[in-house]
């Protein structure tokens, strides 16, 4: 379980890529953004892998098949097998298979990733509410998903057919801005039916279970950019996590994180997998990391010292999270973060 200040997790003193046997990497905002590799991702992953760490890629996006994701990563210069990719489509297919008769029909609202995952479990994807489905499943269908598909799902769900969703991310980043994600599509059916789906994706346990089953990881490290999916998923699975700042999370959000959103480690990018993470120590009423000391004052977080900006952020996190306990830190960290350029 996460704590405000860890006594000494495995990755303090030795490289994370050596302290953990498997990295469970999120994709968007961690490995790539808008289709292109993020700075230092290709070489950092190659080094971690050469050192013996198993790399697995864990995505809430149910649209693409593991093969398609692996091909994309390989094109970017990160050699990947389909078996190293775990999707929320696979997690939801297992969840469905556990609850319906073998070979049952499943009404699919979504893309090819979902259909392939269902067939892998011997289930038969069907397209109409009139096909007598034993379950309805919704996964991201991409921009071409016709509105009529939501009607099809609603007819079956309203009749009481069990309803599943691969994930409920409300938005999905695109090169042109923020687009509605599968969570928004799920809301459409929820509004029409008043029903509640079973959800598989991050941060929920079915996704973490799928990941551990497929990778056989014994000492996994979750690597992600999002607090409410990647980091909370690690918290729920009771495994350690590394937050990288190449995606959607900034310093202010990190300082205001409730316990389930607090990563074990934080670093700028995937180079953080290759180093031992510096220890944060309690000193008097403050927390010290590298050359920085952070103190929770009456109204704001105070920061003193100099050195690597990431060390300052680590010290601030310890001060903020300790002050907040099981709650959310309300102290103003703006000035301290500005000093770090974060």
Q: Is residue 267 close enough to count as binding Mg ion by CB under 5 A?
A: no
Q: Name the residue with the smallest CB distance to Mg ion.
A: 29
Minimum distance of Mg ion from residue 224's CB (angstroms): 6
| Closest C-alpha to 222, from 38, 44, 18, 25 | 25
Catalytic residue (one of 21, 28, 130, 225): 28
The binder of Mg ion chosen from 9, 11, 29, 233 (CB under 5 A): 29
The binder of Mg ion chosen from 225, 240, 302, 311 (CB under 5 A): 225
Stretch touching Mg ion by CB under 5 A, among 24-32, 67-75, 138-146, 207-215: 24-32
**Measured between alpha carbons, how far is residue 252 from residues 215, 271, 277, 287, 294 in Å?**
34, 22, 21, 18, 15
Stretch touching Mg ion by CB under 5 A, among 11-19, 27-35, 110-118, 324-332: 27-35
Residues 305, 337: Cα–Cα separation, whole Å: 13
Q: Catalytic site residue 132?
A: no
The binder of Mg ion chosen from 2, 16, 24, 26 (CB under 5 A): 26
Residues 228, 260: Cα–Cα separation, whole Å: 8
Residues 162, 96: Cα–Cα separation, whole Å: 9
Contact 124, 132 (CB under 8 A): no
Q: Is residue 169 close enough to count as binding Mg ion by CB under 5 A?
A: no
Q: Catalytic site residue 71?
A: no
Contact 233, 206 (CB under 8 A): no
Stretch touching Mg ion by CB under 5 A, among 23-31, 131-139, 163-171, 323-331: 23-31
Active site residues: 26, 28
Task: Enumerate binding residues for Mg ion (CB under 5 A).
Answer: 26, 28-29, 225-226, 247
């Amino acid at each position: 379980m996460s704590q405000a200040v860890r006594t000494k997790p495995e990755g303090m003193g030795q490289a994370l890529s050596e302290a953990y046997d498997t990295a469970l990497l999120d994709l968007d905002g961690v490995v790539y953004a808008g289709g292109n590799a993020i700075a230092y991702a290709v070489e950092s992953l190659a080094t971690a892998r050469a050192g013996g760490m198993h790399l697995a890629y864990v995505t809430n996006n149910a649209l693409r098949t593991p093969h398609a994701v692996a091909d994309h990563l390989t094109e970017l210069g990160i050699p990947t097998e389909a078996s190293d990719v775990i999707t929320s489509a696979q997690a939801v297919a297992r969840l469905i298979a556990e609850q319906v008769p073998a070979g049952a029909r499943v009404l699919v609202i979504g893309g090819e990733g979902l259909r392939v995952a269902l067939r892998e479990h011997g289930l038969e994807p069907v397209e109409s509410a009139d096909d007598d489905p034993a379950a309805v499943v919704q996964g991201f269908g991409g921009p071409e998903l016709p509105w009529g598909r939501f009607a099809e799902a609603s007819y079956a769900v309203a009749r009481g057919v069990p309803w599943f969703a691969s994930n409920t991310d409300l938005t999905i980043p695109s090169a042109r801005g923020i687009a509605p994600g599968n969570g928004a599509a799920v809301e459409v059916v929820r509004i029409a039916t008043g029903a509640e789906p079973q959800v598989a994706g991050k941060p929920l346990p079915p996704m973490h279970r799928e990941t551990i089953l497929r990778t056989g990881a014994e000492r996994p490290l979750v690597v992600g950019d999002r607090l409410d999916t990647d980091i909370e998923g690690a918290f729920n699975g009771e495994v350690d996590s590394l937050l990288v700042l190449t995606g959607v999370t900034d310093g202010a959000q990190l300082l205001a994180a409730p316990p389930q959103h607090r990563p074990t480690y934080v670093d700028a990018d995937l180079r953080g997998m290759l180093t031992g993470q510096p220890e944060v120590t309690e000193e008097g009423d403050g927390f010290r990391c590298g050359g920085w000391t952070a103190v929770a004052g009456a109204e704001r977080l105070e920061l003193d010292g100099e050195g690597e900006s990431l060390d300052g952020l680590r010290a601030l996190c310890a001060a903020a999270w300790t002050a907040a306990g099981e709650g959310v830190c309300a102290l103003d960290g703006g000035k301290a973060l500005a000093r770090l350029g974060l």
